Amino acid sequence: MKIPKKIRIGGQTIEVSQPNCIDGGKLGECRLGDGYIRIAEQFNSAKQSESSKLNTYWHEVTHCILDTMGRGDLSQDETFVSCFSGFLTECYISMEEDWKKDNDPKTE
């Protein structure tokens, strides 16, 4: 899956960028108020794998959705967010595998 450059959550546009690294050595971060998600290209001076970046993407999307829902209590629960976003990642990857079976190989 290609990570999009822009998504909408609850009517708000969220810009998604992939800087080389993020302060504090984080894999990703989001700030709903400022409308952005950042996914680090590198983590611990090694390139973050595509599957790890995808996992980070859905993790940050989950934070944004929960914050939009006014459920900051759940958004601050990293165990909940990681578990929920892990399910989303798996679900999305399995959908993509199914689409690939049916699609022209030229369309990725």
Binding site for Zn ion (CB under 5 A): 78, 81
Q: Which is closer to Zn ion, CB of 73 or CB of 97?
A: 73
Q: Which is closer to Zn ion, CB of 29 or CB of 49?
A: 29
| Pair 35, 86: CB distance under 8 Å | no
Give the span between the Cα atoms of 80 and 84, in whole angstroms: 6
Q: Which is closer to Zn ion, CB of 33 or CB of 105?
A: 33
Structure tokens, 42: 């590198």
| Pair 90, 82: CB distance under 8 Å | no
**CB 29 → Zn ion: shortest distance, Å?**
8
Q: Could you report how far apart the first and last alpha carbons of the chain are, in Å?
A: 9
| Pair 28, 58: CB distance under 8 Å | no
**CB 62 → Zn ion: shortest distance, Å?**
8
**CB 100 → Zn ion: shortest distance, Å?**
29
